[in-house]
Structure 1
Amino acid sequence: MCVVNLPSERSQPRTHWRVTGWLLAAVWLFFLNIPLLTALHQAEVWRRVLGASTLVAFGVTYVCVFQWARARRQAHLGVPRGRAWAFLALLLGLGLAGIPGTSGDWLTTLVFVAAAAVFLMPTREAVVVVLLTALTPPVTAALVPGWEAEGTVVFAVLLASFAMFGVTRLAQRNAELQAAQQEIRRLAVAEERARTARDLHDILGHSLTVVAVKAELAGRLLELDPTRAATEIADVERLARQALADVRGTVGAYRGVSLAAELAGARSALAAAGVAAELPETVPRLPAEADELFGWTVREGVTNVVRHSGARRCEIRVDGSAVEVRDDGRGPVGEPGAAGHGLVGLRERARRLDATVTVGRRPGGRGFLLRVALPAGS
């Protein structure tokens, strides 16, 4: 009966909350002192034993039911209606069973029945039970000779029900808060994983593309121009080391991207791929976040030109508000999904600065355009 540990994927409440739960359940047991004293003062032994034992069983059952229901609320499992009614019937039955030992003071157990109803049942059903338990003392006093109307029991029933309503709402809000905190932690982990995956894709996608192009070029030049081939192999080694450093920097969360560095890398990558490049000689002075965004744009645009477009010419334009990467090829749309991850990451970065990303065919001509523009006035 008194088993309250429920299997759940959610974390269990902390120790101090578990202790608080037991205290909240047990604090009301002081109401049982009146029927317990009545039972202990019975002249006949069997009445004393019956009254005391039923009250002990009643108290233990009440505390265990409270903790069971509280554990289910913590786990967001809900309380089955049939089981709630069964528990109330059990509590009421234990209270009635002790009448030979507790006499009219058994009515005190109705305080716990009402409180349990509030904690176990939906509001409407709980209100019905509370009203019935509150009406029971005056009704039984009128029907049973020798029993006095217990106004204090009626007051205690209403007070305990009101207090338990507050405890129920507190438990519900606490469970919702724990669920919200767990969801925040889960989303934070998911966001960090997505950020790391995006950065690794952008870094390695560009670097490995250039490495592959230079390695292929070195292979073709190995017999025709060994000196040029050696130069390209040296570049492959340098790019591989740079990619390794970038990966380490990403894992350590201290790596940055700048527009000037990406333009220099773009010149080398386009030359190795045999793409005629038209790049700006100077770059405008930009805020750090805008400079980084434009650097990522150049990296993504040049990676797509080298990897997917089949272009012969690439032009990069930069001013204080926008950056464009143009080519005369077919663009990444020629290979479905080829640039999807990189462009998704670029759009996420642009969204942080309210920048707009334009991707598609160049207007009025053959080729592909990638453009990122900052909002006006930035």
Structure 2
Amino acid sequence: MTSEAATPRADRRLLRARRATLLSLAVGMWATVLLPAVGLSREPDVGRVALGAVGILAFAATQTAVLYAAVTPWLAQRWRRRAQLGLAVVAVLTVPLVAPVAAGVWPTWAWLGASLVGMAPLVVRLPGALAVTAGALLVSATVAWWTGGSVGRSLAVTGGIGVGVAAVNRFQVWFWDLLVEARQGQAAQGRLAAAEERLRFARDVHDLLGHSLTVIALKAELAARLAPVDPVRAGREAAEVQRLAASALAEVRESVHGYRAVDLGEQLAAVAEVLRSCGVRCMVPPSPVDLPQPAATELAAVLREASTNVLRHSRADWCRIHIDREGNVARMTVANDGAGESGPDEHSHGLRGLADRLAAAGGELRVRRQDAVFTVEATVPVPS
């Protein structure tokens, strides 16, 4: 399954997990909010019942908003702050509205205090949650003492029930956060893979076309110079330019479709022919080492870049190419005597890209310049 197909499905799963988390939080929190309704049924004063109902409903509404914000990562920060501020204001207002309901008979406000303690970990960090818990316990005990109720029962409801609800809520939100982070990690991994693929493709195109276009340019220039004096040879060079262009186009198509395996022996013969046609004495091994893929492809990329640098940046008289294998390591050395001050070094774009490519394959690229001799040495692991 491709990442494009997997992403919508992953998002749907995340939305289902969000709905389940929100429902679970709401059920637990609304249970602690609905329990004060027992106090409403035991309050004989209609005015207190009305005020208490207003306070309980307002608390339930703001609590729902905070729960929604806790499991909605894409919600703007200002809406989170508004929901949290609204909960704080309503929590203060519930003291005069709800505390007198069923005073001394039912710990009405203590249940709201338990709900407030349960919400604290979703709104503030641990020090703030402890402060909210302490404040809720103080208010609960004060209300019970003032109304003649049981201080111990109120503290047990606000503290015991509230802390239990807080632990459950925090675990659920923590698990939800893990799901969100995992999804974000998958998305980031997908973006990184796409970026790496674009970089790989750009590097492959550079490796392929850099060599081919350099040779085509040199052959075309040679054909233009030969046209007035040797039309027959100029025609052969023009035909060679056409063949090289067709070959380069085929290589690009293969690169686009991911078929990038090359024959190192054929590449070596082609490079030697091009160098010799440009007047560079090329020394190559008579029978190149037979290397399996992908080692042969990696060394072929190095060979293309190194020979391109010989043609483009140097005035070499000779170029020596050596390939050998020692155990599970293949080594290729390309040296020429045309190193100049303006020639490539290990920081040039092509060689830097090759170094990254070989490093990703477990190999290494080394470049050194001594007097007029410039040497590129590449090592790659060979599958056993």
TM-score higher than 0.5: yes
1:157 aligns with 2:162: yes
What is the match of residue 122 of structure 1? 125
Whole-Å Cα distance in 2 between the matches of residues 257 and 192 of structure 1? 20
Q: Are the equivalent residues in 2 in contact too, given 1:330–1:368 (CA < 8 A)?
A: yes
Give the drift of 1:252.
0.9
What is the match of residue 66 of structure 2? 65
What is the match of residue 3 of structure 1? none
Q: Are the equivalent residues in 1 in contact too, given 2:55–2:93 (CA < 8 A)?
A: no
What is the match of residue 4 of structure 1? none
Q: What RMSD in Å do the two structures reach over aligned CA positions?
A: 3.0
Whole-Å Cα distance in 2 between the matches of residues 267 and 232 of structure 1? 16
Residue range with higher mean Cα deviation, 212-221 or 352-361: 352-361
Give the drift of 1:126.
0.9
What is the match of residue 348 of structure 2? 340
Provide the secondary structure at the position in 2 that maps to 1:60.
helix
Indicate how the Cα distance of structure 1 residues 162 and 172 shifts in structure 2: closer, same or farther if over 3 A, else same. Answer: same
Aligned pairs for 1:68-107 (under 5 A) are: 68-72=69-73, 84=84, 87-94=87-94, 96-101=96-101, 103=103, 104-107=107-110
Match among 271, 276, 279 for residue 276 of structure 2: 271
1:326 aligns with 2:331: no
* Residue type of the alignment partner of 2:98: G
Q: Are the equivalent residues in 2 in contact too, given 1:213–1:272 (CA < 8 A)?
A: no
Match among 245, 257, 266 for residue 262 of structure 2: 257
What is the match of residue 373 of structure 1? 379
Aligned pairs for 1:140-289 (under 5 A) are: 140-146=143-149, 149-150=152-153, 151-289=156-294
Whole-Å Cα distance in 1 between the matches of residues 68 and 90 of structure 2? 16
* Residue type of the alignment partner of 2:136: T
Residue range with higher mean Cα deviation, 168-177 or 187-196: 168-177
Task: After superposition, give the CA deviation of every residue in 1:179-203 in whole Å (9 maximum; x if it has no partner).
Answer: 3222212211111111011001111
Provide the secondary structure at the position in 1 that maps to 2:290.
coil
Task: After superposition, give the CA deviation of every residue in 1:81-135 in whole Å (9 maximum; x if it has no partner).
Answer: 8984663343342354233446441221112211221111111121222233245
Identity over aligned pairs, percent: 30
Unaligned ranges ≥5, structure 1: 1-10
* Residue type of the alignment partner of 2:332: V
Q: Are the equivalent residues in 1 in contact too, given 2:321–2:332 (CA < 8 A)?
A: yes
Tell me how many residue pairs correspond in the alignment: 364
Provide the secondary structure at the position in 1 that maps to 2:378.
strand
What is the match of residue 309 of structure 1? 314
Aligned pairs for 1:1-16 (under 5 A) are: 14-16=14-16
* Residue type of the alignment partner of 1:340: S
Residue range with higher mean Cα deviation, 146-155 or 345-354: 146-155
Provide the secondary structure at the position in 2 that maps to 1:288.
coil
Whole-Å Cα distance in 2 between the matches of residues 63 and 153 of structure 1? 19
1:360 aligns with 2:368: yes
Indicate how the Cα distance of structure 1 residues 338 and 154 shifts in structure 2: closer, same or farther if over 3 A, else same. Answer: closer
Q: Are the equivalent residues in 2 in contact too, given 1:207–1:239 (CA < 8 A)?
A: yes
Unaligned ranges ≥5, structure 2: 1-10
Q: Are the equivalent residues in 1 in contact too, given 2:62–2:83 (CA < 8 A)?
A: no
Indicate how the Cα distance of structure 1 residues 44 and 86 shifts in structure 2: closer, same or farther if over 3 A, else same. Answer: closer
Whole-Å Cα distance in 2 between the matches of residues 112 and 166 of structure 1? 16
Q: Are the equivalent residues in 1 in contact too, given 2:261–2:293 (CA < 8 A)?
A: no
Residue range with higher mean Cα deviation, 111-120 or 83-92: 83-92
TM-score (norm: length of structure 1)? 0.85
Residue range with higher mean Cα deviation, 37-46 or 153-162: 37-46
Provide the secondary structure at the position in 1 that maps to 2:365.
strand
Q: Are the equivalent residues in 2 in contact too, given 1:328–1:367 (CA < 8 A)?
A: yes
Whole-Å Cα distance in 2 between the matches of residues 87 and 34 of structure 1? 18
Task: After superposition, give the CA deviation of every residue in 1:23-43 in whole Å (9 maximum; x if it has no partner).
Answer: 133112012232113324544
Q: Are the equivalent residues in 2 in contact too, given 1:219–1:229 (CA < 8 A)?
A: yes
Indicate how the Cα distance of structure 1 residues 303 and 75 shifts in structure 2: closer, same or farther if over 3 A, else same. Answer: farther
Indicate how the Cα distance of structure 1 residues 79 and 156 shifts in structure 2: closer, same or farther if over 3 A, else same. Answer: farther
Q: Are the equivalent residues in 2 in contact too, given 1:54–1:94 (CA < 8 A)?
A: yes
Match among 105, 111, 114 for residue 114 of structure 2: 111
Whole-Å Cα distance in 1 between the matches of residues 297 and 17 of structure 2? 47
Residue range with higher mean Cα deviation, 186-195 or 349-358: 349-358
What is the match of residue 137 of structure 1? 140
Whole-Å Cα distance in 1 between the matches of residues 78 and 63 of structure 2? 18
Q: Are the equivalent residues in 1 in contact too, given 2:332–2:378 (CA < 8 A)?
A: yes
What is the match of residue 7 of structure 2? none
Residue range with higher mean Cα deviation, 238-247 or 80-89: 80-89
